[in-house]
Structure 1
Amino acid sequence: MGENVEKFTGRVAAYAEYRERYDPMIVLPRLRDWCGLQQAWTVADVGAGTGMLSDVFLAGGNRVIAVEPNTEMREACVRLHEDNAALMVVNGTAEATGLEDASVEMVSVGRALHWFNLDQTMPEFRRILKPEGWVAVVAFGRSKDGRKENEAYEEVLRPYTLNGRGTHAEYTKYERLKDLFVGGEFRQEEVRGEIQIGWEALRGFTLSLSHAPLPESAEFGAFEEKLREYFAQYEENGSVTLATRYWINAGRFGTHG
């Protein structure tokens, strides 16, 4: 993951408070149906952040190993789950988790997938999975389209993204997922919805994004003003409505490859 490890340093409080939460009632039934997910399984949640996807599996009764390389994220994950003995938090990357061979029944990945070097990550996942184990990739957040509010929000963020390509430019890795399980099994489903978000939540959510200017930066004042203008234009009854999307994927490696 290299320099990506530190991209969320200074953003953890906003991330933990304002990022969208995964709904276990949407995620777990699909994984139980596709993968035969059972309470007895141990799940390695890789790139776990503050443990939002881990929470889904904890709600289902699983033991979870949260693998997270960023120190602030890892400390927040420990703090938020200090009373939950079913969660163990470890320092590791997707490419080098530090877990034992054939030690988990499922590897889960949330929004962190687009930071991973997949050529190194997939052999590592294969190594730590037990035979017939599954990789579950669950992305949830605002859609880049579907409503004019979404498209306008992307335009607010665009100047601050890599080469102005937009916030979803690196998400092409999700489109490659099926190709990573050739000779094995793969399931995928999209679930679309909407959220209503007020000003404080919108501001906090935006500050949790890795590319958004931080409050101490020189460009933050102008950025926040643009965000206020966006909210004023699109809010109704104190909130903006954004289209959301779950993208739930599950794959199992073939015998070879």
Structure 2
Amino acid sequence: MEKLVEQVWDYTKHAKFYSYRPNYAPKTIDMLITLVGGKNLKVADIGAGTGNLSIMLLERNCNVVSVEPNDAMREIGIERTKGQSIEWVRATGIDSTLENSYFDWVTFGSSFNVMDRNEALNEAHRLLKKGGYFSCMWNHRDLNDPMQKIAEDTIIEFVPKYTRGTRREDQRPIIEARKDLFDNIVYIEEDFYFHQSIENYINAWRSVKNPYWDLETKEGNELFEKISQKIIERLPKEFDIKYTTRCWSAKKYK
């Protein structure tokens, strides 16, 4: 049997900290709604996590099916979206179990990088109506922001080889390589500021999955606590901090 993504990227221990992350820039989501076109869009939100992007789509009158393999994440999402026009499905982004050619839009909010992106594009193409859109997006810390730079420099003190993986890469070459599936690529990038307390900023870091500190292990916890303590010492109690929402979209043309 094919393994679920959660067995490779298990976010169970991270789920409760997702609410501390900033959500995507609202104007970017508004622009994407305009790009996809129409009202009451049918959207498959793949790797929906605890529902951050799904909630923004619901607020814009989309009919959402949220696909999330991790039980802890999905349960939080179900609770957060109770009573709204949404269905939650336990499945992966490469085998969503959803209906062929049914959706106007397939979204990947901070999830495209945790699965085989080629297979994810195949699945998105299968789910979309002709003329429908695929979008993948992330929030990135602006490393030139003074607050973010302090945090980044602190991490590198403890983890000199720290990198951020495929989520920081330009996704255009991946999409361009699949011209058999998608074309009309659109890229949107929007900066925004998010007000955070130092406690919430550290909690947001607890939601991050990376190979450098594993919160499941004693060693990982100890490293994270050392980094956190230094960041707490170096940052103010509250601050506005700069993020950038980056999104790549493309159209299913046949």
Report the TM range for the smaller structure's normalisation.
0.7 to 0.9
Q: Which residue of 2 aligns with 1:166?
A: 163
Q: Which residue of 2 aligns with 1:192?
A: 191
Q: CA deviation at 1:216?
A: 6.4
8 Å contact 1:184–1:252 — kept in the other structure? yes
Q: Which residue of 2 aligns with 1:152?
A: 150
Q: Which residue of 2 aligns with 1:32?
A: 33
Alignment of 1:112-151 (within 5 A): 112-143=111-142, 145-151=143-149
TM-score, normalization: structure 1? 0.84
| Aligned mates of 1:108, 1:239 — CA distance in 2 | 32
Structure 2 unaligned regions, length at least 5:
none
| Aligned mates of 2:162, 2:230 — CA distance in 1 | 22
Seq. identity, %: 19
Q: Does 1:232 align with 2:230?
A: no
Q: Which residue of 2 aligns with 1:9?
A: 12
| Aligned mates of 1:32, 1:2 — CA distance in 2 | 28
| Aligned mates of 1:100, 1:160 — CA distance in 2 | 47
TM-score, normalization: structure 2? 0.85
How many residues were matched structurally?
247
| Aligned mates of 1:156, 1:7 — CA distance in 2 | 26
8 Å contact 1:43–1:64 — kept in the other structure? yes
**1:151/1:77 CA distance change after superposition, 3 Å:** same
8 Å contact 1:6–1:70 — kept in the other structure? no
AA aligned to 1:73 is: M
| Aligned mates of 2:198, 2:55 — CA distance in 1 | 26
**1:168/1:31 CA distance change after superposition, 3 Å:** same
8 Å contact 2:154–2:227 — kept in the other structure? yes
| Aligned mates of 2:111, 2:174 — CA distance in 1 | 14
**1:48/1:180 CA distance change after superposition, 3 Å:** farther
Alignment of 1:88-103 (within 5 A): 88-103=87-102
**1:60/1:196 CA distance change after superposition, 3 Å:** closer
| Aligned mates of 2:157, 2:125 — CA distance in 1 | 38
Q: Does 1:79 align with 2:82?
A: no
AA aligned to 2:171 is: Y
Q: Does 1:21 align with 2:23?
A: yes
8 Å contact 2:17–2:206 — kept in the other structure? yes
**1:159/1:166 CA distance change after superposition, 3 Å:** farther
Structure 1 unaligned regions, length at least 5:
none
**1:158/1:168 CA distance change after superposition, 3 Å:** farther
SS at match of 1:184: strand
8 Å contact 1:156–1:226 — kept in the other structure? yes
